Amino acid sequence: MKGKLRYVVAVVSILMLASMVAPVFASTNKQPAKVDLTGVWAFNDDGYMHTMIISSFNPCTGAFSGTGYYNADPALTWVITGTETGDSVLITYSILTGGDTPGVTLLGTGTMSSPTSMGGTGSQSNFGAVTWSATKATEVVNISWLVLNDEDYRWGAGCWALDSGLMSVQVWQMPDGSWVAIKNYNEIFYTPKGAISPVAGTVESKAGTGTMNAQYVVSFTGTLAAGLQLTGCLGLKNYGGTVADILLGVNALGVTGYNWRAQYFPSATNVVYHSDSWTYTLLCDKTAVASSLVETGVYTLGGINPVAVGDIIT
């Protein structure tokens, strides 16, 4: 009898535990999976077409962020933040530069109708009620390659360092057939003694090495060449730069290296650069006068050069 009672108590305990645990799992299963929003999107702001690049997405919280620009006037740039929870989306985008009303914000709510489509309504600070929608572009190219001896140009004439590391390119086809590419650099630079620093033109008193991380965004039209590798690593490419050339200072010739766009889109037209950002950090030199350099801006848009803060002076 005692053995039977213990059995009954054990069964009841298991059933009670199951009744407590099951609702938790049931509730979790009812939560829709979050969609990874990273990538390039065509963003329609009440009939005005923009390009949105979501560069950060947190799969645990659904928070995302990125940048964008107005297609008809790429100098009008903006940033976006938001949260995606299941099929619901909250967004805030704020105009940074360009247009007649910098500082304009759009607060929007919407839904995800598919992993590549979202839209809803919102309020724009300079306009009032608006509707918005976004369609994700199709990633067609995702390649990378290892780089050796890439001669790094300075702000004036000539080159100042040799870069080696990893480059990658993702190319997205927009709904209208045009293309948006994002190129990333993750490299190590080497500047020899006697080279000229990239900004001030100071002669380097000793050799130095450091990290270089960069990214640019470019849009264009054209036809993708046939028969090329569209994903994965292209292997090692030696750009052929030399220390001897760097030491020519302002007369350094520079090496073209591997031109991915000429290979993949030889007939590209309407090429517009939308952003350039470069960060150099000198390593292991506590005596350096200037150990970091940050460049942000766009080189070719309207003839405007990026803003440089700092220099690399060993």
What pLDDT score does 86 carry? 83
Residue that is last in its domain, among 117, 136, 155: 136
- Shared domain check, 294 and 145: yes
pLDDT tens digits, one per residue of 134-147: 999 999 999 999 99
Beta carbons of 179 and 222 less than 8 angstroms apart: yes
What pLDDT score does 278 carry? 95
CATH number at residue 108: 2.40.128.120
pLDDT tens digits, one per residue of 23-55: 433 444 445 558 899 999 999 999 999 999 999
What pLDDT score does 27 carry? 41
Task: Indicate if the pLDDT at residue 219 is higher than 90.
Answer: yes
Residue that is last in its domain, among 119, 136, 153: 136
Task: Indicate if the pLDDT at residue 275 is higher than 50.
Answer: yes
Residue 223, domain extent: 138-313
Q: pTM for this structure? A: 0.85
What pLDDT score does 32 carry? 53
Task: Flag whether 32 is in a domain.
Answer: no
- Shared domain check, 101 and 147: no
- Shared domain check, 288 and 147: yes
Single-letter residue type at 166: L
Q: How high is the mean pLDDT of the chain?
A: 87
Count of domains for the chain? 2
* Cα 166 from Cα 158, distance rounded (Å): 23
* Of 295 and 12, more confident: 295
- Shared domain check, 240 and 145: yes
Task: Indicate if the pLDDT at residue 11 is higher than 60.
Answer: no
- Shared domain check, 148 and 79: no
Task: Flag whether 4 is in a domain.
Answer: no
Beta carbons of 91 and 122 less than 8 angstroms apart: yes
- Shared domain check, 174 and 102: no
215-233: string of b/e by CB count within 10 Å (b at 16+)? bbbbbbebebeeeeeeeee
pLDDT tens digits, one per residue of 225-260: 999 999 999 999 999 999 999 999 888 887 878 999
pLDDT tens digits, one per residue of 101-136: 778 999 999 999 999 999 999 999 988 999 999 999
pLDDT tens digits, one per residue of 58-91: 999 999 999 999 999 888 899 999 999 888 999 9
